[in-house]
């Protein structure tokens, strides 16, 4: 993997560890009806979140390479926006991991599996919406990243 020189990219390495820890929380929050099913759900969520974190890093790096700002203040503002986006993504992943499952004691195995799949799809949709919003934040005002509003999820 290529090493990047910008400070925002160096700070990303710790986000992968955070995603792994969050996935462990997800398994505990989902309960332990079937340990094998819970492990699979945990693995699926973890993998999805790792892919999303990588996708965000790739989008940010591509934007940095394409539009390398010469103005130091603009460059710093873009780097700060990238860091903020990474933190917002980590917060979303955390929330996805701790949201309790909607399983009821009367649910059969098929119902629990269907609910788990719906939860995974919901998490994926939330993350994709967030990634699109992050991309639009950088595109909405070309040359004016210092004016971009800060959004928190």
List the chain pLDDT tens, one digit each, 153 residues: 444 444 444 444 444 445 445 444 444 444 445 777 778 888 888 999 999 999 999 999 998 888 877 888 888 888 999 999 999 999 999 988 877 666 677 878 788 788 888 888 988 899 999 988 988 887 765 454 444 444 454
pLDDT of res. 17: 44
- Would you state the pLDDT for residue 100? 64
From CA 90, how far away is CA 49, in angstroms rounded?
Answer: 9
Q: How many CB atoms lie within 10 A of CB 69?
A: 16
Start-to-end C-alpha separation, the chain: 30
The model's pTM is 0.61
Distance separating alpha carbons of residues 11 and 134, to the nearest angstrom: 18
Domain ranges of the chain: 11-98+108-142
């Amino acid at each position: 993997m290529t090493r990047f020189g910008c400070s925002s990219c160096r700070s990303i390495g710790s986000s992968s560890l955070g995603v792994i820890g969050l996935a462990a929380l997800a398994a505990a929050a989902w309960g332990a009806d079937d340990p094998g099913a819970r492990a699979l759900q945990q693995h699926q969520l973890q993998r999805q979140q790792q892919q999303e974190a990588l996708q965000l890093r790739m989008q940010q790096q591509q934007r940095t390479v394409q539009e390398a700002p010469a103005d130091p203040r603009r460059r710093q503002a873009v780097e700060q926006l990238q860091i903020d986006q990474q933190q917002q993504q980590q917060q979303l992943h955390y929330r996805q991991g701790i949201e309790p499952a909607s399983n009821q004691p009367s649910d059969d195995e098929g119902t629990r599996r269907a609910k788990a799949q719906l939860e995974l799809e919901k998490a994926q949709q939330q993350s994709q919406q967030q990634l699109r919003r992050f991309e639009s934040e950088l595109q909405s005002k070309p040359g004016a990243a210092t004016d971009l509003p800060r959004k928190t999820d």
